[in-house]
Structure 1
Amino acid sequence: MDSILGLIRNHFFEGASLLLAAGALIYAAMALRVAKQALVTAKMSDVATLKLKAHEGRERAEQIFLSLQSTCHDTRSQWSLHHDRHCPTLGSQDFRQDDTRHISEIENQGRTLLRPLEIDLSELGTMDAAALEDYIQLAHRTAARIEKLRFRLSPPK
């Protein structure tokens, strides 16, 4: 019995440090699992943020297009009023169409620019982060191009 107690006394610190090391390994494994879960959650959060930005970019481009359509309608009304005031009633309709043709062309160009953004929301949900970033850039470029079209409208002088 004395030899067993002597053995325990001699190796007590090694046994205690072995138990502490085992506890530290278990704790490190749990911390690694939590860190992996946090990384997955952060990636999912980043993708969700990109999806939201992509949706907002698309909405902004659509709103700018609707604003362009409204401006085109106002410009057509100005030309119509101008023609009613300054052109003879029995005059040629070709002159009226020539004056307003650019309005329809600008509106069609805006519609054409908006077409690549018209994807399904379910398709937007399946995109990865790189594709979403590309879509966001496309939406911003499209919105800027549509906005520039407004400056090409010419009201009557």
Structure 2
Amino acid sequence: MDGTLGLINDNFFDGVSLLLSAGALLFAALAHRVAKQALATAKMSDVAALKLKAHEGRERAEKSFLSLQTACHDTRSQWCRHHDRHYSTLGSRDFRQDDTRHISEIENEGRTLLRPLELGLSELGTMDVAALEDYIQQAHRTAARIEQLRFRLSPPKQLFA
């Protein structure tokens, strides 16, 4: 019995340090698992934020197109008033259409620019991070190009001051 107590007494600190080491390893494994879950959650959050930015970019491009359509409508109305005031109603329709043809061309160009952005929400959901970032940049470029189209609209020149 004295030998057993001596053996336990001699190895007590080794046993306690072994138990503490095992507990530390267990806690390290749990911390590693929690860190992996946090990383996965952060990645999902980043992708969700990119999806939101992509959706906002598409909305900005659509608003730019609606603004362009409004400007086209206003310019077309100015041309109609101009023709009504300064030319007879029996005048050539071709002449009137020549003056306003550029408006339709600009509006169609804006519609053509917007078309590649027409993805459904399910298609946005399947994109990876790189594709979402490319889509966001494309949406911003498209919105800027559509906004620039407004500057190509030419209202009628005033004949009388």
TM-score category of the 2 structures, normalised to the smaller one: over 0.9
- Displacement of 1:57 in angstroms is 0.5
Q: Give secondary structure in 2 for the equivalent of 1:91.
A: coil
Percent identity between the two aligned chains: 82
Q: Give secondary structure in 2 for the equivalent of 1:11.
A: helix
Unaligned runs of 5+ in 1: none
Q: Which residue of structure 1 aligns with residue 11 of structure 2?
A: 11
Q: Distance in 2 between matches of 1:36 and 1:137?
A: 30
The alignment's TM-score, normalised by the length of structure 2, stands at 0.96
Q: Distance in 1 between matches of 2:7 and 2:155?
A: 103
The alignment's TM-score, normalised by the length of structure 1, stands at 0.98
Amino acid at match of 1:3: G
- Displacement of 1:91 in angstroms is 1.5
Residue correspondences, number: 157
Q: Deviations over 1:47-88 (max 9, x none)?
A: 000000000100110011011001100000000000000112
Amino acid at match of 1:153: L
CA RMSD of aligned residues (A): 0.6
Q: Distance in 1 between matches of 2:120 and 2:84?
A: 44
- Displacement of 1:134 in angstroms is 0.6
Q: Distance in 2 between matches of 1:29 and 1:124?
A: 36
Moved more, 56-65 or 84-93: 84-93
Amino acid at match of 1:103: I
Q: Distance in 1 between matches of 2:27 and 2:43?
A: 24
Q: Distance in 2 between matches of 1:144 and 1:81?
A: 30
Q: Distance in 2 between matches of 1:92 and 1:136?
A: 46
- Displacement of 1:89 in angstroms is 2.0
Q: Which residue of structure 1 aligns with residue 130 of structure 2?
A: 130
Q: Distance in 2 between matches of 1:119 and 1:10?
A: 73
Amino acid at match of 2:113: L
Q: Does 1:151 align with 2:156?
A: no
Q: Which residue of structure 2 aligns with residue 68 of structure 1?
A: 68
Moved more, 143-152 or 5-14: 5-14
Q: Deviations over 1:113-154 (max 9, x none)?
A: 000000111111111111111110110000000000000000
Q: Which runs of 4+ in 1 moved over 2 A?
A: none
Q: Distance in 2 between matches of 1:89 and 1:138?
A: 45
